Chain A
Amino acid sequence: MNKKRMIVGLLILLMISLGVFAQGQVDKSTVEVKVLAGVTGGKDEAENKLFEEEMEKATGLNITWEKVPSGYDQVLMQKLGAGEQYDLIYLNQFQMYTLAKQGALTDLTDRIQNSKVYAENVDKAELEKIGLNGKYYAGFNKLEVFPLVNVNKAITDKVGINLDSLDTLDEYYQMLKEVKTYMETKEGKKPYYPFFTYMPDIWDLQPWFSSVGLRRGVFVDASGKKYAPYVSTKAKPVWEWLAKLYKEGLMDPASFTGKTGDMRSKMWQSQDIVMDVDWAAWTGLYNNNARTAGTYPAKVNVVGLPGTKGPDGTYMLEQGGASLWAIPSNAKNPDEAFEILEYMATKEGGLLLSAGIEGHDYTMKNGKIEYTEVGKSHAKDHGAPFPISTQFDLSLLGEMNPGVLESVAIGQRSDVEVAPMGYANGELDTRKYYDIMSKWMTDCIMGKISADAAINGAEKELRANKLID
């Protein structure tokens, strides 16, 4: 009887112990990790589901991958403002600064510094670029590349221009002038405006301001004073050069009213321009689109150029504002969210965010990637055309679009300096800065006021809005 009681007692004890143990070890596949994504994920609802499943398979988590099809910034603001809780949110660098300062993001400094995955896959120099007062509030979505000068060599070859010799503002001016004359007289395209620059955010002017060694944005000097290089007197030659291009019909007037989509279609579809400044990835996309349309390389053969050489002999290009992932301060599952963040930084995660879903976008044959028709149409981009992992070899993606690797390689040259714009230590109201700068630059370029007056006006307005000291 006693023996029986003892066995029953032991069994009960064992069951209780197992119960307590099970409670301590929460099955992570039962926790719902909510992700709010912008560009990263499937291209449509059905593919997004597959993307979510792929992510779940890789991390062992139960993930809800909510991809916003359009108007992401507004949706993010509405959802967070309404109290909706997410474990991981997609955001840009400026938004990260704003939300971190509001205390809306989880401090990830310790997690990132202790992460083996980040140590093995993420370049420290990249991490430095997204720090805020020595702390990290986000991890990476992809490796940011940079906009550079894109020129349609198919046209410049016909004109007889050697692109390797272009280094100064004047040399670019001469090239544009020769192309304009050729297109208007020989090809009968009149008027022909060979250069398009998207003015609203003045984001593609860096290769020209490189000639005077200046960068976009607002910086803080050693004494703590905020200053904007583009409104210094040193910048005047670039403002005047742009005004000269417009006056002589070398700059497309649609630069002020058109969208980047207009610029891109003019580059590869109609060849109505010969030069713009666009992302390195677009060098390849222009050519790939033209290849599909049957115009590559006879009519369209875009190549990337570093722009103008600065006073110290280097070319200054601007790294795109980082696209990031952050964990909101009210996230229910920050640990699981960080696991996803880590996975995206791995080689495998990079493959998912670029090539897409195995069996849907591609198949592997003898260690080589073979794209399906769906995969081909998705152009190796599911949020990260260039994965952040240093372990990721771009050759993994198979044949790249023509010209893209050469453009990306420009950023790795020793005489090319790629750096982000000045965010004034995360304090800059970028929207206001763009609006003020583009307004004054437009007035100057369109010849309404002189470069001196425009620079002074812009400086005063930046100061009145407390963007600079």
Chain B
Amino acid sequence: MDKQLVRQIKKHRIFYLLFIPIALYFIIFTYYPFFRGLIMSFQENRLIGTRPFAGLENYKLVLSDPSFLSSILNSLIIGFSDMVLYFSLALLFALVLNEITQKKIKQGIQTIAYIPYLLSWAVIGGVWALIFDLDGLVNRFLALFGTEPIFFLATPAYARPLIIAMGVWRSMGYFALLFTVAIMNIDRQLFEASRIDGASRMMQIRKIIVPSLLPTMKTIIVLLSIGVLTHFDEIYVMVNPANRSLINTLLLYVYENGILNFRTGSASAGATLVMIGTVLFTALIRRLTEYDKEE
């Protein structure tokens, strides 16, 4: 080993020692289950005892299952839409919020927008059912204009938009908060100088705020790309026979067809495919956004 490296390690040994528990945590709770799952994806479906090697059988089975193929499409549509909407609406919201000069009003709006993020999906599912049910708030409002009630929760045309809107409603405030924090960290002197130079507020937003947010934007896009194929909770609380075929995502498939049916091999194969898809997609996004490029 390089003598200099050894010297460096010795010098900073306290930090390396502090790193050991964290490394152990990840090895035990992340990498060990991951590799165990990976091995299981090549084994027969057996819950107890030795599992004979099954080659690519589980992968073949999963990839030839029409439900799995339709769940890929659903995941991509819901995941991409969420990613685009979370990002753009959160950015817009943060920019608008930044323009509010009254501190208390600004904080109030920010808190209201952030609160849904603290709620569990089960609670949100209940709230949305109350809003969009046949005798829910939306239909009562529409009735004021003589409109016939719409069965939002069981009409296929509304299935995906409702799920996407639910996600946006819950998460927009959180991502807007990240943008707001980044805006607050912009050097105030830049605004002063631009104002002296005669820049309008719109110009300040375009030329100072948005460019300063680029690192935060990259981080948020990468974070969102990790979640594109992993939507589960919101689907689980909203799925019903009328909308299932349109919102059944990859993880719901893995849960219902693998875990609930005790098919450990198939479940692991499905989960591994989701992970490979996520890694590839995130790598692509990192490349496109030049995430790893030194500023």
Contact = CB atoms under 8 A, between A and B. Distances in A.
Interface of A: 73-74, 77, 80-81, 95, 98-99, 102-104, 199-200, 253-254, 256-257, 328-330, 429, 431-432, 435, 438-439, 441-443, 446, 448, 461, 464-465
Given A73-B260, A257-B153, A99 B47 contact: yes
Contacts of A74: 259-260
- Give the size category of B's interface with A: 20 to 34
B240 A200 contact: yes
A74 B264 CA distance: 12
Contacts of B259: 74, 77
A429 B262 CA distance: 11
A329 B49 contact: yes
A104 B47 contact: yes
A104 B48 CA distance: 5
Given A73-B260, A253-B151, A446-B154, A80 B241 contact: no
B65 interface: yes
Contacts of A435: 67, 241, 244, 256
A263 to B, nearest CB: 14
A99 B262 contact: yes
B47 A256 contact: no
Given A200-B240, A256-B241, A81 B257 contact: no
B45 interface: yes
A253 B133 CA distance: 9
Interface in B246-264: 256-257, 259-264
A88 to B, nearest CB: 14
Given A200-B241, A256-B241, A465-B67, A77 B47 contact: yes
A102 B241 contact: no
A77 B262 contact: yes
Interface of B: 45-49, 65-67, 129, 133-134, 151, 153-154, 156, 240-242, 244-245, 256-257, 259-264
Given A77-B259, A99-B262, A256-B240, A330 B245 contact: no
Nearest to B259: A77
B47 A102 contact: yes
A438 B244 CA distance: 10
Nearest to B154: A256
B192 to A, nearest CB: 56
Given A102-B262, A446-B154, A431 B256 contact: yes
Contacts of B66: 461, 464-465
Contacts of A99: 47-48, 262
Contacts of B261: 98, 429, 431
Question: What 7 A-B pairs are tightest by C-beta distance, nearest first?
Answer: A438-B241, A104-B48, A442-B241, A256-B154, A257-B153, A80-B47, A102-B46
Contacts of A461: 66
Nearest to B46: A102
Contacts of B242: 256-257, 439, 442-443, 446
A330 B256 contact: no
A443 B241 CA distance: 9
A95 B45 CA distance: 13
Contacts of B46: 102-104
A248 to B, nearest CB: 16
Nearest to A104: B48
Contacts of B47: 77, 80-81, 99, 102, 104
A410 B67 CA distance: 40
Contacts of B48: 80, 99, 102-104, 328-330
Give the one of A81, A98, A329, A461 with max B CB within 10 A. A81
A461 B245 CA distance: 12
Given A429-B261, A465-B65, A465-B67, A257 B154 contact: yes
Nearest to A429: B261
A103 B245 contact: no
Nearest to B132: A257
Contacts of A199: 240-241
Contacts of B67: 432, 435, 465
